[in-house]
Structure 1
Amino acid sequence: MWMLWLMMLLLTWPATGTKAETGGLINVKPGCEEKCGDVTVPYPFGIGNRKCAMNGDFFLFCDRSASPPQPKFEDVVVLNISITDGSIIARIPTAQRCYNGFGNVLNSTDIKVDLVLRPFRLSGTRNKLTAFGCDTIAFMTDAMGDFGSGCASLCTINESFKKLNNIIENSCSGFGCCQTPLRKILNKTLTITLDSRSNYSKTLTEEFITCDYAVLADESFDLSGLHFSDKSSSNVTVEWMIRDEESCGDNTNLTYSENGQGYRCVCQPGYKGNPYLGCHDIDECNEGYPCEGTCKNTPGSYTCQCPIGMHGGGKVGCRGFRITTIVAGCVVVLGLLFLLLIGLWWLYKFIKRRRKIKRKQKFFKRNGGLLLRQELSSNEGNIEKTKLFTSKDLEKATDNYNVSRILGQGGQGTVFKGMLTDGRIVAVKKSKSVHESNVEQFINEVVILSQINHRNVVKLLGCCLETDVPLLVYEFIPNGSLYQYIHEQTEDQLPITWEMRLRIAVEVSGALSYLHSAASIPIYHRDIKSANILLDDKYRAKISDFGTSRSMAVDQTHLTTQVKGTFGYLDPEYFRSSQFTEKSDVYSFGVVLVELLTGQKAIRLVETEENRSLAAYFLQVINENRLFEVLDAEVHREAEKEEVITVAMVAKRCLNLNGKKRPTMKEVALELAGIRASIGDSVLQQCEEIDFVDYDNARHFKTGSSSTGSFFNSVTFSVDGDPLLSNKW
């Protein structure tokens, strides 16, 4: 029995040691795309963002209109990029020259390959020029007109009537087909041209080749499978090199490129990876390198020690064997292994706890926790209102962020529907990334929303900072956005009546008026649009998405910043000057008001450029007295003419190109409340904080008339509470 146990022990004796991998091959910079369609684009090349490439020479355009997407440079399609031999496999068209039955040239297409703008060069060793046809000459010249390469394809009387496919199947010996390698041409602009060896008339027959072709192709390209046409193409090898010898990463060597025009980076022996980003050590012990003993990895190499009782170089074999030494060694090893397992188990539990704590601290810091704590410290009354959720709470609430729970996706992240343990339905906003600029927007949104308590602003319930991306938790708004109700109306949706439109306009203007003039710190939203106005279960308006919003000092009149917003809603004055004022929000609200009136999108899908902007088109229509030609059918059917005209005049004033001539949001809210009061409801019942003392003036005023002034003089606006109009109709 003990002999059997000993044999099993010898069979299971470890042949090599182990060492953790240092990581897989990294081909691109962090945050950069690695593939365009099916093609891997490794560094020093890059796509998407120019910072992903070493420099502009190596930046490729990813043509996503193709299926699948294709990387390109100067309209040349790239099929493969090799870091190992510094080459690109690219696709270029074929040259052709076609004749009619009388030997006259119908059309002739030369091929030009221009690589001057980049450190690229056609390979002179791997590419060949091939011509197909009878009495055909194909030649290549550079930009200076110097001859580079060429060959002549001849045909006998019998050969001249062979089909092209038959010629391709035969060897390219000069009859019907000729082939020549490229000569080294210093100029990188090359032109492939076709010509005829003789001027005799070619007779058109059923079997006659009506076109001659010239193909520049890699030696591995299968010409027999090429179907010639005016769109046929072939694969060529393009060599690339770097000009700066300091562009190599760690653990690399610098070599001259084959054409002697630049450098290439290669990993040092014992290292692997992308040499332009840095090579890492090869773990020879785990990658099958020869070793009959105990393997130990070293930087750039490895050592191999023979088992106890044996001697010799482990890499080439071990000799000798003593049974007593093996048995004694096994007993010692088993005892040490038992103790080691106990120690490792305890160490594993300790490290796991430490890593969990450090990971949460890392995420908290990276996600702006310190910045959030600093911002909220100046508003201690709001700290308790912003609850910090755990990652476990939100994973459970969203069913581990199941795709079926997605409510919407935008430029800043994805919103999931979730249910908390107390039964509340919430919306969880998961940011797309943790770049510094996005973290700043995330913290900004938390700080802004923590200062707002308004029934027509989406309520922030809390946030989570211990995950890899920041999370915000909002109250759930069930009925989608105003944009969907105006522009994506379905049969099962409640029709948006004139009464609803006017109420939504009053609610949004009241909320913006609160943000501008009634909040403890004035707040500019900076991205008012119908997509950021949500509708709750009672179709009350809720302003959302404060990622780009900014709070202002009381004595500050404008904010000079990078232009942000949505085209179609963007204040032209802000776009020109980069100075955002409260009147910029007024302009954006004016566009939303026009959407409610016309049912049209902020950017209209029309051919003429001048009519694409809904705001500009609306002002033109007003000036031409054609308002009722562009109204939405629901508005045209339900609203009184005087009501529509009054609301349209409010929109016109909001869209004034001179920001100083626009009304404030407080004035807009009062005017719209007055219009709403004029269609039957008492102003005192509709507005909790707006007190119309002179009700008759409020009911009968007209925008722009003299009665407007007396109306506003009779109105008081409270900033001590929530200046919202009632949602009861």
Structure 2
Amino acid sequence: MFSDTLNVFTGIGCDTSAQVINKDRTYGAACLSICTENVSLLENNPCSGSGCCQTSIPRGLKSLNISTSSYNNHANVSDFNPCGFAFLVDRSSLKLSDWPLSRKPKYGNDAYATDVVIEWVVKNETCEKANKTSAYACGSNANCTDSENQGYRCLCEKGFEGNPYLQDGCQDKDECKDPGKNPCEEGTCENVIGDYKCRCPLGKYGDGKTGCKGPGIVTIIAAVGASIFLVVICLLLYMICTKRKKEKNFQENGGKFLKNQRVRIFSEAELVKATNNYADDRKLGEGSFGSVYKGVLTDNTVVAVKKSKGVDKAQMNAEFQKEMSIVSQVNHKNVVKLLGLCLETKVPLLVYEFISNGTLSKHIHDKGSRILVSWTNRLRVASEAALALDYLHSLADPPVIHGDVKSVNILLDNNHTAKVADFGASVLMSPGQTDISATKIQGTLGYLDPEYLMTGILTVQSDVYSFGVVLVELLTGEMPNSISKSGEKRNVIQHFISALENNHLFKILDFQTADEDDMDEIEAVAELAKRCLNSMGVNRPAMKEVSDELAKLKALHQKSLAQQNSEETDYLLDESSQSFCENASHLMNQSQTVISLQMENYTNSN
């Protein structure tokens, strides 16, 4: 039968209708090809009806009758296409370039021929069904395979050859018979029924089909000894190269200078061990230039290791030198402390103190956290963060612009004390300098100063704006550009200012334990945040003013709490004293009554 998958019915011409039917006229198909000008039939022509057309044949076709016809007898195209052709052809052998439209027909022995794929199969049964009948055609040592069309085929098993349709047609194939085609890689070929073996020469072992091993014990010992020697040499060379590489990195990263500074120098091996080779479960966070991992030193000190990403070494070294120059001179209780460095890597590693309670952002937005439930803690955290930024702007020498103030970069330690972290975007200011022209904008959208975004000039007031966003986040519990309950994006800053100006501040507060007495403080912080968020930097308060105002509010709040606790204590003491007096008076009255009755009884008895 004709293969329906490998053959295709094809028509060639510009006024051609190609038809094919089977002998019983139970199947018919046709395709039409029309064109008004000469078409070049290239190999990639889709044969979609212009110059040529194609259609498939059904599965199981055993006979066919092909014919062609023309609608206008090629009258309009005879100059370049005198006639049309139709034929069945093997898809893989068809070359359309061999069938130009100008081709004329030939007859008899000179007629054009095409390759056709014919599948030879037995009956219209599957192997499973045929194997159960006496008419099963496959002989011994033959395998049956189902045809994709109909019926089945027989093939000799591996190691046998011959006619699989005869009872004993598949005979053992002697692979060793032809010395020129010896299948053995090494050794002597030995034929067995349906297979062969390759015996290795004396003194060798293994599978001779792929090769034999081992010439003798002496050679083996010599080879092993040489291998061990080479391994030892390679290990020594590797250790020497690694040591020199680490020494080179140490020197290039300023190790000679830093060795004399009051900073601990860690080895690469120490930090690899401490972080469990920078395992994913040790990762604390990820920033623009690197990732931070939790590490445990041999003395059980927990640290945070900042490891750079695999980017340009020159750029990363510049960022490292900048961050190191900043954090190495900063010493403040509300700024994360640098414990040491590792200079043996291409880009040095920074080792910071580990802050156990994570980021301020986590505690604001994780509804399961209880640290920021009260206004007292929120006010204290805001005051401590402002104190750190004021220190960087006013007291650090030289002054520092943080450049990426956000709730993620404010950490809380065991005592919930705020500590400002991540100086990757920070810059140092020279004496008398008030701003920095940035080569590229760094920071986090939503917290970035709009003036900095427009001008590319970074100032201390840029930190003030970002801190104002953090204050709004502390008050409302919402991230900048957060999603509203309706699913729409909204500007949290504008929403906050609108609520403040329309006296709806209490509706957008995030915490639950604020008393009515706290509302004055909350409104004062909200007004301070509004001033920090002024679109013009010159109209924003200095960080020192922000810090001082928050410190005053914090002191007033603590005084109010102390006074409230004192009043509650006095009230409880008064209640206790009054209860004691009432009980004592009642007991005295009872005692007097008893004495009076006893005296009366005594008098009557006399």
Root mean square deviation, CA, Å: 4.2
Q: Counterpart of 1:599 in structure 2: which amino acid?
A: G
Report the counterpart of residue 566 of structure 1 in structure 2: 444
DSSP 3-state at the match of 2:557: coil
Of the three residues 519, 522, 544, the one matched with 2:421 is 544
Between the aligned partners of 1:182 and 1:521, the Cα distance in structure 2 is 80
Between the aligned partners of 1:479 and 1:181, the Cα distance in structure 2 is 74
Between the aligned partners of 1:349 and 1:609, the Cα distance in structure 2 is 61
Between the aligned partners of 2:284 and 2:42, the Cα distance in structure 1 is 56
Offset of 1:416 from its aligned partner? 2.0
Does structure 1 retain, via aligned residues, the 8 Å contact 2:376–2:557? no
Offset of 1:638 from its aligned partner? 6.9
Does structure 2 retain, via aligned residues, the 8 Å contact 1:152–1:178? no
Report the counterpart of residue 151 of structure 1 in structure 2: 53
Report the counterpart of residue 238 of structure 2 in structure 1: 352
Between the aligned partners of 1:458 and 1:182, the Cα distance in structure 2 is 76
Report the counterpart of residue 506 of structure 1 in structure 2: 383
Q: Counterpart of 1:404 in structure 2: which amino acid?
A: D
439-448 vs 664-673, greater mean Cα deviation? 439-448
Report the counterpart of residue 361 of structure 1 in structure 2: 247
Offset of 1:682 from its aligned partner? 9.1
Does structure 2 retain, via aligned residues, the 8 Å contact 1:516–1:522? yes
Q: Deviations over 1:513-532 (max 9, x none)?
A: 00001011100110000011
Instruction: Rate the CA distance shift 1:554–1:486 in 2: closer, same or farther, 3 A.
Output: same
Between the aligned partners of 2:504 and 2:473, the Cα distance in structure 1 is 16
Q: Counterpart of 1:575 in structure 2: which amino acid?
A: L
Offset of 1:336 from its aligned partner? 10
Report the counterpart of residue 201 of structure 1 in structure 2: none
Between the aligned partners of 2:42 and 2:223, the Cα distance in structure 1 is 61
Of the three residues 501, 504, 507, the one matched with 1:626 is 504
Does structure 2 retain, via aligned residues, the 8 Å contact 1:498–1:639? no
Superposition map of 1:348-427 within 5 A: 348=234, 350-364=236-250, 369-370=253-254, 384-427=261-304
Percent of aligned pairs with the same residue? 41
Q: Deviations over 1:599-646 (max 9, x none)?
A: 111121149999633223322333333322222142656762211110
1:451 equivalent to 2:332? Answer no
Report the counterpart of residue 354 of structure 2 in structure 1: 476
1:677 equivalent to 2:594? Answer no
Report the counterpart of residue 532 of structure 1 in structure 2: 409
Report the counterpart of residue 532 of structure 2 in structure 1: 654
Between the aligned partners of 2:236 and 2:431, the Cα distance in structure 1 is 52
Does structure 1 retain, via aligned residues, the 8 Å contact 2:295–2:305? yes
Instruction: Rate the CA distance shift 1:443–1:420 in 2: closer, same or farther, 3 A.
Output: same
Between the aligned partners of 1:336 and 1:503, the Cα distance in structure 2 is 76
Does structure 2 retain, via aligned residues, the 8 Å contact 1:597–1:635? no
More helix by share: 2
Between the aligned partners of 1:373 and 1:182, the Cα distance in structure 2 is 76
Q: Counterpart of 1:460 in structure 2: which amino acid?
A: L
Does structure 2 retain, via aligned residues, the 8 Å contact 1:434–1:469? no
Superposition map of 1:97-136 within 5 A: 125=43, 127=44, 129=46
Report the counterpart of residue 602 of structure 1 in structure 2: 480
| Structure with more contact order per residue of length (Cα contacts < 8 Å, sep ≥ 6) | 1
Between the aligned partners of 1:395 and 1:600, the Cα distance in structure 2 is 38
Instruction: Rate the CA distance shift 1:336–1:422 in 2: closer, same or farther, 3 A.
Output: closer
Of the three residues 338, 341, 346, the one matched with 1:460 is 338
Instruction: Rate the CA distance shift 1:124–1:594 in 2: closer, same or farther, 3 A.
Output: farther
DSSP 3-state at the match of 2:304: strand
Between the aligned partners of 2:274 and 2:243, the Cα distance in structure 1 is 23
Between the aligned partners of 1:410 and 1:386, the Cα distance in structure 2 is 24
Offset of 1:549 from its aligned partner? 0.7
Offset of 1:483 from its aligned partner? 0.4
Offset of 1:410 from its aligned partner? 3.2
Larger radius of gyration: 2
Between the aligned partners of 2:291 and 2:378, the Cα distance in structure 1 is 28
Between the aligned partners of 1:607 and 1:494, the Cα distance in structure 2 is 25
DSSP 3-state at the match of 1:681: helix
Q: Deviations over 1:53-89 (max 9, x none)?
A: xxxxxxxxxxxxxxxxxxxxxxxxxxxxxxxxxxxxx
Q: Deviations over 1:450-492 (max 9, x none)?
A: 010011111111111213553221111110100000112326x
Of the three residues 518, 524, 538, the one matched with 1:640 is 518
Q: Counterpart of 2:238 in structure 1: which amino acid?
A: K
Offset of 1:449 from its aligned partner? 0.5
Superposition map of 1:61-210 within 5 A: 125=43, 127=44, 129=46, 138=48, 151=53
Q: Counterpart of 2:437 in structure 1: which amino acid?
A: T
Superposition TM-score, scaled by structure 2 size:
0.55
Between the aligned partners of 1:551 and 1:432, the Cα distance in structure 2 is 23
Q: Counterpart of 1:438 in structure 2: which amino acid?
A: M
Does structure 2 retain, via aligned residues, the 8 Å contact 1:517–1:666? yes
DSSP 3-state at the match of 2:356: coil
Instruction: Rate the CA distance shift 1:567–1:334 in 2: closer, same or farther, 3 A.
Output: closer
Does structure 2 retain, via aligned residues, the 8 Å contact 1:558–1:581? yes
Between the aligned partners of 1:182 and 1:477, the Cα distance in structure 2 is 75
Offset of 1:661 from its aligned partner? 0.6
Between the aligned partners of 1:442 and 1:501, the Cα distance in structure 2 is 33
Offset of 1:425 from its aligned partner? 1.2
Instruction: Rate the CA distance shift 1:373–1:606 in 2: closer, same or farther, 3 A.
Output: farther
Instruction: Rate the CA distance shift 1:470–1:181 in 2: closer, same or farther, 3 A.
Output: farther
Q: Counterpart of 1:385 in structure 2: which amino acid?
A: R
Report the counterpart of residue 602 of structure 2 in structure 1: none
Report the counterpart of residue 496 of structure 1 in structure 2: 373
Instruction: Rate the CA distance shift 1:342–1:634 in 2: closer, same or farther, 3 A.
Output: closer
Q: Which runs of 4+ in 1 moved over 6 A?
A: 168-175, 177-183, 333-343, 607-611
Superposition map of 1:9-28 within 5 A: none
DSSP 3-state at the match of 2:520: helix
**Structure 1: gaps (5+ residues):** 1-122, 131-137, 140-146, 155-165, 184-223, 225-290, 293-325, 684-729
1:587 equivalent to 2:489? Answer no
